[in-house]
Structure 1
Amino acid sequence: MPATTGSARRVAVLRCIVAALVVTVLLAGLVVLVFWLVVRPKPIEYSVARAAVRRFHVTAPPGGGGGATLNASFYLTLAADNPNRRVSMRYKSVAVYVHYGAGEVAPQLAVADVPDFHQPSRNETRLEVRAVARSAPVPDWTARELEHDRSDGEVGVEVRVTAIVHFLVGGVKFRHYNMRAICSPVVIGLSPSSAKSFRGVPCDVAIS
């Protein structure tokens, strides 16, 4: 009889734990649902508003062997648009990457960290970024393509932005999300005057 009583207690405790977990999940879902129904957040938008490159130079090793490098300074102005009326955002761990070409295998040319910042509702924040490649190693095929670009007077790159984003409503901070923006193709002229004729490039933004 005592063994049966102990087993019944364990089952009762397990049922209480399961019930508590179910209630917690339901409450969390309800909070998210209320948030979306009341706030109705709109997607945030990113674009490359301005781009220029200076001191662009590819160094190939003597004899055509491996070990090509790139030196360049990429000056980018990123426009982050928050169209929401009730939602502000806090950005952390913001990083901007410059890749040659598109896709996951595209070689990385330069990277820059951006200070954390707060973005109010209905606000467009402009981020001035300088991503520098200092003797950055590049594959031989990339070095050859970059040399062709230098001869043509322009270079096409892909700009990627990653960040951790907190959404704030009425001073209440919700859990963080990972943001990733991909802007491509960003074609940058190599002449000093080309920045004036640059046309903005919209980015694809994903939040998870």
Structure 2
Amino acid sequence: MAGRSRGIGDTGHATRVAVVRCIVVAIIATIVLAGLVALVFWLVVRPKPIEYIITRAVVRHFNVTPPGAGSAGGGGGGTVNATFYLILAVDNPNRRVSMRYDRVELRVLYGENGTQLATAELPAFHQPRRNETLLQARAVARSTPVPDQAARELEHDLAAGELVSVEVRVVADVRFIVSGVISRYYRVRGTCSPVNIGLSPSAARSFESVPCDVEIW
């Protein structure tokens, strides 16, 4: 009986080992197959990085309420009113990949801490292959609260009367389309900095385009 028990135990152990081995082989095969699919996709499609460029930026009705103004205690930050007119060039250089933008948001940030001044939501759109699309945005700040330091720096910029330097951040939800197959959603973020916006008419006319760093995940 003892010998028979050991035989049954050995058989059960061998079965478990075989099952584990099959699972490991299946996982490795799946990983290898996924890698081959990704490699074939890259060889066939040869995707190129998309590019964002701020080609024009103008600000109107720009004013700052200084920190503590109108406050009995003299505390608190300031507020900003402004309208930013921006043109974003979205370049898709790919021959086989088109894109569907389902949400696009532009944010205008100021200072080292990235104080948000204004935002703009843009409508969804489809971008064909090998296409450059120009997006016009109007980002409005209406009594936007800002920290003391940012308010003082903005006051200084306005007093100088030359330019205000901001960062424009683009956040979009995108799906890629290849031969009719639509991918899952990807988040695309473009960081455009510094965007130097002239405050005087002559400075505004001399605006220089700003390329953006683009990340996809």
Indicate the TM-score class for this superposition, using the shorter chain for normalisation: 0.7 to 0.9
Q: 1:79 to 1:44 in 2, by over 3 A?
A: same
Which residue does 1:188 correspond to in 2?
197
TM-score, normalised via structure 1 length = 0.88
Which residue does 2:45 correspond to in 1?
39
Which residue does 1:179 correspond to in 2?
188
Deviation by residue 1:23-61 (Cα, 9 ceiling, x = unmatched): 221111111111111111111111011111122121122
Q: CA deviation at 1:64?
A: 4.8
Which residue does 2:4 correspond to in 1?
none
Unaligned stretches of 5+ residues in structure 2: 1-6
Cα distance in structure 1, aligned partners of 2:8 and 2:122: 65
User: Residue type of the partner of 2:122?
Assistant: V
SS in 2 for 1:9: helix
Q: 1:76 to 1:86 in 2, by over 3 A?
A: same
Q: 1:164 to 1:9 in 2, by over 3 A?
A: farther
Among 116, 126, 131, which residue is 1:118 paired with? 126
Cα distance in structure 2, aligned partners of 1:57 and 1:179: 32
Among 68, 80, 87, which residue is 1:77 paired with? 87
- The answer as to whether partners of 1:76 and 1:129 remain within 8 angstroms in 2 is yes
Unaligned stretches of 5+ residues in structure 1: none
Aligned residues: 206
SS in 2 for 1:179: strand
User: Residue type of the partner of 1:93?
Assistant: R
1:93 equivalenced with 2:112 (yes/no) = no
Which residue does 1:201 correspond to in 2?
210
User: Residue type of the partner of 2:62?
Assistant: F
Q: 1:200 to 1:16 in 2, by over 3 A?
A: same
TM-score, normalised via structure 2 length = 0.84
1:10 equivalenced with 2:16 (yes/no) = yes
Among 54, 68, 71, which residue is 2:78 paired with? 68
1:108 equivalenced with 2:116 (yes/no) = yes
SS in 1 for 2:183: strand
Among 36, 39, 61, which residue is 1:55 paired with? 61
Q: 1:3 to 1:94 in 2, by over 3 A?
A: farther
- The answer as to whether partners of 1:52 and 1:194 remain within 8 angstroms in 2 is no
Cα distance in structure 1, aligned partners of 2:155 and 2:44: 54
Among 1, 16, 21, which residue is 2:27 paired with? 21
1:152 equivalenced with 2:139 (yes/no) = no
Q: CA deviation at 1:3?
A: 4.1
Which stretch shifts more, 7-16 or 124-133? 7-16
Cα distance in structure 2, aligned partners of 1:79 and 1:135: 29
Which residue does 1:134 correspond to in 2?
142
The root-mean-square deviation of aligned C-alpha atoms, in Å, is: 2.1
Q: CA deviation at 1:90?
A: 1.8
Identity across the alignment (%): 65
SS in 1 for 2:76: coil
